[in-house]
């Protein structure tokens, strides 16, 4: 029996879930992440049935001198060479206690499922632009939500984590039971424990107004000027994102959008339409909108605003935090140039600030973000050979705004292969590294952006 076959046999003895190793039917499909730009060269894939399976895999790896990488679906993958890839997508428990404004979700539950369950109660969780990602993975990285300006990082709404530690032991971690680990798990990533479930606060959203306005790209300068002015005075309930967008020439897209070079604003407002439209009045003065989807909407439909892909694809992205927008805006538009931003799919500027910028004594490792805007550049690898062109385009635009960037990046906006050191100030990074050394001295647990 060779080593790979022996590994498969050993894992099948300790777990109830499905195990695949190299050579097994379906292994390549099982190891493939949602973002297929990354080749996950793992030794085995285990689809855990429950938290007991998770504990069994980690215990086995600790004894065998192997490492474990955990993924529900692979939206933020890494190569994970020779690790055991632990899939937690089958952990689907979801409970909402509306009277307490609390939800408990297991590791495989997506934001779509959470928002559907909370929406009927006039409550929301702190989800981001896509509801397809797991709530747990998003939160471990801090979690920049549509509603972060009002309620802060998603990680700071967590009440407790149910975990398996690097020795394979199960525990429930709270601010009282283990303040050090509780702090690290709220924004420090997946280096410190495998989270099998978490309990977090829900927030009031009795009314939600949101949607997207699309103009032809020639309106970009006007739209960006309105974006700067609107965000300069926006209340915390209002979040506005700016996009330069290149729609693909796909036949399934409606004619006005097919192949269109566009500029858009995406918006959410925790309140009614009358007040929202007053706050957004500058955009209504810009002529020639092609589409305007803004309306009163249920929280369950939050992902409809950006309409991001829900099927796996391959992408390359680059994020930067902007220290301001006055000079950066002109530099960005000049670098983008007239016409298309291709081969990029979009250039996004998110307005941050509000509660995200506030220092909290009881906050997690996510800390706070002083920078008021986030720049995000994304290219989709729709055909072979596009990598170099996308990288060059991203690099040229990043260079244009470099004088107006801080060098820090939110954890969940780190690109493939970027170190966690970009996401944390030196003091927080040093504290996370010390916790990792103490809690996992053998390096059993590996994350997509390790702190060491």
pLDDT tens, residue by residue, 348-393: 999 999 999 999 889 999 999 999 999 999 999 988 889 999 999 9
Q: How confident is the model at residue 417 (pLDDT cuts 50, 70, 90)?
A: confident
Look up residue 108 and give its two tokens: 């495989």
- Spatial CA neighbour of 267 closest among 211, 316, 306: 211
Mean pLDDT confidence for 246-263: 87
Q: Specify the pLDDT at position 383.
A: 87
Q: Specify the pLDDT at position 4.
A: 79
- Spatial CA neighbour of 92 closest among 49, 29, 139, 125: 49
Backbone angles phi, psi at 59, to 5 degrees: -60, -45
Q: Specify the pLDDT at position 249.
A: 84
Look up residue 365 and give its two tokens: 């490792």
- Spatial CA neighbour of 140 closest among 410, 442, 429, 431: 410
- Spatial CA neighbour of 64 closest among 367, 332, 442: 442
Residue 1 has pLDDT above 60, yes or no: no
Rounded distance between C-alpha atoms, residue 446 and residue 58, angstroms: 11
Where are the alpha helices (H) located in 172-310, listed in sequence order? 179-185, 220-232, 273-279, 281-284
| Size of the chain in residues | 452
Q: How confident is the model at residue 68 (pLDDT cuts 50, 70, 90)?
A: very high
By the 8 A CB rule, do 411 and 419 touch?
Answer: no
Residue 12 has pLDDT above 60, yes or no: yes
Which residues are bridge partners to 68 per DSSP? 84, 445
DSSP 172: E
Q: How confident is the model at residue 239 (pLDDT cuts 50, 70, 90)?
A: very high
CA torsion through residues 395, 397, 398, 400, sign: positive
Rg of the chain over all Cα atoms, to the nearest angstrom: 22
260 CA to centre of own chain: 27
Rounded distance between C-alpha atoms, residue 160 and residue 179, angstroms: 11
Domains assigned to the chain: 3-87 (3.30.43.10), 94-204 (3.30.465.10), 209-413 (3.40.462.20)
Strands (E), 247-285: 261-269
Look up residue 414 and give its two tokens: 């780190």
By the 8 A CB rule, do 352 and 323 touch?
Answer: no
For 171-185, the pLDDT digits (tens) are 999 999 999 999 999
* Cβ atoms within 10 Å of 252's Cβ, excluding its own: 6
Lowest average pLDDT, out of 238-247, 269-278, 337-346, goes to 337-346
Q: Specify the pLDDT at position 262.
A: 96
Look up residue 210 and give its two tokens: 């949101």
Rounded distance between C-alpha atoms, residue 17 and residue 11, angstroms: 9
Residue 37 has pLDDT above 60, yes or no: yes
By the 8 A CB rule, do 376 and 341 touch?
Answer: no
For 91-148, the pLDDT digits (tens) are 999 999 999 999 999 999 999 999 999 999 999 999 999 988 999 999 999 999 999 9
Q: Tokens 């006055």 belong to which residue?
A: 326
Rounded distance between C-alpha atoms, residue 23 and residue 300, angstroms: 41
Look up residue 107 and give its two tokens: 């590791």
Residue 3 has pLDDT above 80, yes or no: no
Rounded distance between C-alpha atoms, residue 152 and residue 369, angstroms: 10
Rounded distance between C-alpha atoms, residue 215 and residue 208, angstroms: 23
Q: Specify the pLDDT at position 74.
A: 85
Rounded distance between C-alpha atoms, residue 233 and residue 353, angstroms: 11
Cβ neighbors of 335 (< 8 A, separation 6 or more) are 396, 397, 399, 400, 401
149 CA to centre of own chain: 16
DSSP 213: E
Rounded distance between C-alpha atoms, residue 35 and residue 331, angstroms: 30
């Amino acid at each position: 029996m060779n080593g790979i076959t022996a590994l498969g046999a050993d894992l099948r003895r300790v777990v109830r879930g499905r195990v695949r190793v190299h050579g097994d039917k379906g292994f390549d499909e099982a190891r493939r992440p949602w973002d297929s730009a990354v080749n996950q060269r793992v030794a085995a894939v285990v689809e855990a049935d429950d938290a007991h399976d998770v504990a069994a895999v980690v215990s086995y790896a600790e004894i065998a001198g192997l490492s474990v990488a955990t993924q529900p679906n692979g939206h933020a993958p890494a190569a994970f060479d020779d690790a055991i890839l632990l899939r937690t997508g089958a952990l689907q428990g979801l409970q909402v206690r509306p009277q307490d404004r609390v939800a408990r979700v297991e590791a495989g539950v997506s934001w779509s499922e959470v928002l559907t369950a909370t929406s009927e109660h006039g409550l929301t969780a702190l989800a981001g632009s896509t509801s397809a990602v797991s709530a747990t993975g998003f939160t471990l990285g801090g979690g920049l939500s549509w509603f972060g300006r009002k309620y802060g990082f998603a990680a700071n709404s967590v009440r407790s984590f149910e975990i398996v530690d690097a020795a394979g032991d199960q525990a429930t971690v709270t601010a009282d039971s283990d303040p050090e680990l509780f702090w690290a798990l709220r924004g420090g990533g997946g280096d410190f424990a495998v989270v099998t479930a978490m309990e977090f606060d829900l927030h009031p959203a009795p009314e939600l107004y949101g949607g997207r306005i699309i103009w032809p790209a020639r309106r970009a300068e006007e739209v960006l000027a309105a974006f700067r002015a609107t965000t300069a005075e926006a209340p915390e309930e209002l979040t506005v994102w700016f996009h330069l967008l290149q729609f693909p020439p796909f036949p399934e897209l409606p004619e006005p959008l097919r192949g269109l070079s566009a500029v858009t604003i995406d918006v959410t407002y925790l309140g009614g339409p009358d007040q929202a439209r007053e706050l957004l009045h500058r955009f209504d003065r810009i002529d020639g909108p092609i589409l305007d989807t803004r309306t009163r909407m249920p929280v369950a439909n939050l992902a409809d605003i950006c309409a991001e892909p829900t099927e796996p694809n391959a992408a390359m992205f680059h994020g930067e935090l902007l220290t301001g927008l006055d000079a950066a805006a002109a530099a960005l538009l000049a670098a983008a140039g007239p016409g298309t931003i291709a081969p990029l799919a979009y250039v996004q500027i998110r307005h941050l600030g509000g509660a995200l910028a506030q220092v909290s004594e009881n906050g997690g490792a996510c800390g706070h973000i002083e920078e008021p805007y986030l720049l995000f550049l994304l290219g989709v690898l729709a055909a072979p050979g596009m990598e170099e062109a996308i990288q060059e385009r991203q690099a040229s635009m990043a260079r244009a705004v470099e004088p107006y960037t801080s060098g820090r990046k939110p954890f969940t906006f780190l690109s493939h292969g970027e170190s966690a050191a970009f996401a944390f100030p030196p003091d927080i990074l040093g504290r996370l590294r010390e916790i990792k050394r103490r809690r996992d001295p053998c390096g059993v647990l590996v994350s997509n952006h390790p702190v060491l």
